[in-house]
Amino acid sequence: MEPQGDLGKLEESDLSDLSLQPAGVPWPTKVWPRGDLAASGADVRRVAALIARAFDAPDDDLGETHAVLAVQGGRLVLERYAADIPSDSTRPSWSVAKSLTHALVGLVVSETGLDVAAPADVPTWRGPGDARGQITLDHLLRMSSGLAWVEDYEPGHPSDVLEMLFGAGKSDVARFAADKPLIHPPGKHFYYSSGTTNIIASALARRIGLSGDAFAAWMGRRLFAPLGMVSPVPRLDAAGTFIGSSFCFCTAEDFARFGLFYARDGVWEGRRLLPEGWVAHARRSTPQQMGGEGDGPYGAHWWLDRAGPGSFSACGYEGQHIAICPDRDLVIVRLGVTPLATQPAAQAWVADLAEAFR
């Protein structure tokens, strides 16, 4: 697999299915414009049955559902919360933060001309003969760095991700991940790794010369504030690195704003914030080896086709989902706590809800 960093020379067909904000529909920078579910063309009975399964009679596979939102044509047409979850409460992102990190990379590309096809700026990889020096940001974004890693969430199992987040690596998550040896040539082997995202976050901080609270403030100025996202709480480690693999708490409505931002190709209130082609970069499929460890098609820090063909999704542990279906101009947010063993049930539930909007 070759790096895919030629962001400015995409075919028009790569973006033709993304919609503009409809005329007369306000941007939800301050308040979400509301729409009628029935008028959206959704199968109202099917939606009602899915909502009842999630909130009124949840099964063991789906577990707890805390919030469900659906945005179609830029309007919020469905919003439901569990009885004990206030609408203004922040919920954990888990790996949805990886897709937020993809947006941060795009902002740095726009600000500084960062080349994602160039070797990543990681100080410990600069030594003579260190093959890790050939790993690009695009390799990292596509989970194809070739670094050794064990992404296992079961307590008691060998797990680099748990050791990074809660054990020996928690004070410097990027250093913990970057110290792993190379076991595959860069760009040749797909393996989902939370460590790679934190390497990216650290490299971004070096690129813009900000870390810790200053980096968090930059995130607020450049990404959250323009979209009207007032709730995000990104978590930093002791080294000042945004833990972009896992930790940015937001309200459900702010997660929906972020989803609409990508559904609108990185444009907000008529102003382009992400480079042209950056959302297409997220959606361009990353090759995976036969018999690999993947959970379906993957782009660049976004999952592909999980809510139907052509969709792309930010997904996190416990069944967090932001699903974007361009063919229906639809964004779905589902937040909750689904058991690890049955998380495919949450993914299937989101896909069923998306299908009800055809």
Confidence grade of residue 155 (pLDDT, cut at 50, 70, 90): confident
Question: Is the pLDDT assigned to residue 193 strictly greater than 70?
Answer: yes
What pLDDT does residue 64 have?
95
The pair of three-digit structure tokens given for residue 200, joined into one six-digit string: 């990216």
Q: What is the mean pLDDT of residues 301-316?
A: 97
Does the pLDDT at position 235 exceed 50?
A: yes
pLDDT score of 11? 38
Confidence band for 57, pLDDT divided at 50, 70 and 90: confident
Average pLDDT of the residues in 69-91: 97
pLDDT band with cut points at 50, 70 and 90 for residue 7: very low
Q: What's the pLDDT score for residue 259? A: 98
Q: Could you give the C-alpha distances from 138 to 165, 186, 244, 288, in angstroms and in order?
A: 23, 10, 16, 15
pLDDT in the model for residue 336: 97
Q: What is the pLDDT of residue 294?
A: 64
Tokens of 321: 């989902």
* pLDDT tens sequence across 156-173: 899 999 999 999 999 999
pTM over 0.85, yes/no:
yes
Is a pLDDT exceeding 70 seen at residue 339? yes
Question: What mean pLDDT is reported for the chain?
Answer: 94
Per the model's pLDDT, the better-predicted residue between 14 and 297 turns out to be 297
Apex CA 32: angle with CA 319 and CA 271, to 5°?
95
Both tokens of residue 266?
């990185």
User: Residue 291: pLDDT band by 50, 70, 90 thresholds?
Assistant: low
Residue count of the chain: 358
Q: Where residue 16 falls among pLDDT bands split at 50, 70, 90? A: low
User: 3-state SS string over 225-265?
Assistant: HHHCCCCCEECECCCCCECCCCCEEECHHHHHHHHHHHHCC
- Tell me if 207 sits within 8 A of 121, measured CB to CB: yes
Task: Assign 2 a pLDDT band (cuts: 50, 70, 90).
Answer: very low
Q: Is the pLDDT of residue 343 over 70?
A: yes
State the pLDDT at residue 12.
38
Count CB-CB contacts under 10 A for residue 2. 10
Region of poorest pLDDT, from 56-60, 80-84, 114-118: 56-60
Mean pLDDT of 140-149: 98
Query: Would you say residue 24 has pLDDT above 80?
Result: yes
Residue-level pLDDT at 116? 98
- At 292 the pLDDT is 60
pLDDT (tens digit per residue) in 119-129? 999 999 999 99
At 90 the pLDDT is 98
In this prediction, residues 112-140 reach a mean pLDDT of 97
Distance from C-alpha of 102 to C-alpha of 278, rounded to nearest angstrom: 9
Say which CATH class 12-355 falls into.
Answer: alpha beta
Residue with tokens 């050939």: 134
Give the pLDDT confidence of 250-290 residue by residue, as tens digits.
999 999 999 999 999 999 999 999 999 999 999 999 999 87
Distance CA 250, CA 195 (A): 22
| CB contact set of 115 (below 8 Å; sequence gap of 6+) | 5
Do the beta carbons of residue 316 and residue 36 sit within 8 Å?
no
